[in-house]
Amino acid sequence: MTKKVKAIVIKSNDIKEKDKNVLLFSIEEGKIWATLKGVRGDKAKMKYAKEPFCFGDFVIEEGKGSNIITSVDIIETFDKLSKDIDKYFEASALLEIVNSLNVANEKYELFVSLIKALKSIAFESTSKYLPLLKFMLDVFSAYGVPLYTPKCACCGNEYHDHVFINYNVGELVCQACKSFQTEELSAAQLKVIKLLSENTYDALKTIKIPQETAFLTLKVLAANFYSRFEKNLKFIGIFN
């Protein structure tokens, strides 16, 4: 059976002498593994399709043992990411998040957000980490646990001077509702979360956030991600 999927390469593994197994994240079926035959040769027709970030229309032949990619119509390679190490690490963090998730009903929403976030990193002049932060907020929303609320998610009262993130439930709460597993957010961190929750990816280039504030907010969202999905995000090149 032959099928066509619009997908992006999340990661790949060498197999045999010149073949590659690639993990695709597709808009139609979520994550699927498939094999590219002979793509490790210098003259291979589909050699670019083995690289992470390769986005295109993949034609896949379903076999008994594995799926074989027979052709690819490349839409975007995001090759500009390889020319800026900071952008590359931020974009790689997006792929790490997708790789760690069990994607089912959320696949369409996450796929669209991923492509928008990658385009923002690769082609827009956005403050460092903003596309990554917005994508993480999109992930929480897609899985039914949106982070930002204008009032305490527990009692519904105004936050007043102090806002806390409750890692047990992944919500923002006031001082009266804080519990053992809560962490206070600074006013600057709350501002970042609010701005990114209320704006589109296109608007990110107009939002200017100090890098230190963005980084500290990223650590909070990574901790919340662990609480929600029990996955520890390494974010190589960012956290270490």
- pLDDT tens by residue, 168-215: 999 999 999 998 899 999 999 999 999 999 999 999 999 999 999 999
Are 65 and 130 contained in the same domain?
no
Split into its structural domains, the chain has a count of: 2
225 found inside a domain: yes
Q: Give the pLDDT of residue 173.
A: 95
The answer to whether the beta carbons of residues 34 and 69 sit under 8 Å apart is: yes
Domain ends where: 43, 77, 111? 77
Which residue is it, tokens 């053992």? Answer: 180
Q: Give the pLDDT of residue 14.
A: 81
234 found inside a domain: no
Q: Give the pLDDT of residue 63.
A: 74
Measured in degrees and rounded to the nearest 5, phi and psi for residue 236 equal -55, 135
Burial-class residue 131 by CB neighbours within 10 Å (0-12, 13-18, 19+).
buried
* CA dihedral (96, 117, 192, 198) positive or negative: negative
209 found inside a domain: yes
- The three-state secondary structure class of 163 is strand
216 found inside a domain: yes
pLDDT at 42 over 90: no
- Parent domain of 38: 2-77
12 found inside a domain: yes
Q: What does the chain come to in residues?
A: 240
Q: Give the pLDDT of residue 45.
A: 80
Give the end-to-end CA distance of the chain in Å, rounded to a whole number.
44
Are 50 and 129 contained in the same domain?
no
Q: Give the pLDDT of residue 47.
A: 75
Work out the widest C-alpha separation in the chain, in whole angstroms. Answer: 65
What is the percent of the chain with per-residue pLDDT over 90, rounded to a whole number? 79
Are 72 and 152 contained in the same domain?
no
Domain ends where: 23, 57, 77? 77
User: Where residue 226 falls among pLDDT bands split at 50, 70, 90?
Assistant: very high
pLDDT at 13 over 80: yes
Are 91 and 162 contained in the same domain?
yes
Cross-strand bridge partners of residue 185: 163
Q: Which amino acid is at 77?
A: T
Are 128 and 90 contained in the same domain?
yes
Angle, helices 107-123/130-142, rounded to nearest 10 degrees = 180
Are 165 and 73 contained in the same domain?
no
Are 26 and 100 contained in the same domain?
no
Are 90 and 26 contained in the same domain?
no
Indicate the helix (H) or strand (E) that contains 191.
helix 187-198
240 found inside a domain: no
Domain ends where: 53, 77, 101? 77
236 found inside a domain: no
Render pLDDT for 101-152 as a digit per residue (tens, 0 to 9). 998 888 999 999 999 999 999 999 999 999 999 999 999 999 999 999 999 9
Q: Give the pLDDT of residue 179.
A: 87
143 found inside a domain: yes
Give the number of other Cβ atoms within 10 Å of residue 43's Cβ: 6
Measured in degrees and rounded to the nearest 5, phi and psi for residue 157 equal -85, 165
Q: What is the CATH number of the domain that holds 145?
A: 1.20.1440.120
Q: Which amino acid is at 167?
A: Y
Render pLDDT for 152-168 as a digit per residue (tens, 0 to 9). 999 999 988 899 999 99
Are 131 and 210 contained in the same domain?
yes
Cross-strand bridge partners of residue 182: 166
User: Where residue 81 falls among pLDDT bands split at 50, 70, 90?
Assistant: very high
Q: Give the pLDDT of residue 18.
A: 83
User: Where residue 230 falls among pLDDT bands split at 50, 70, 90?
Assistant: very high
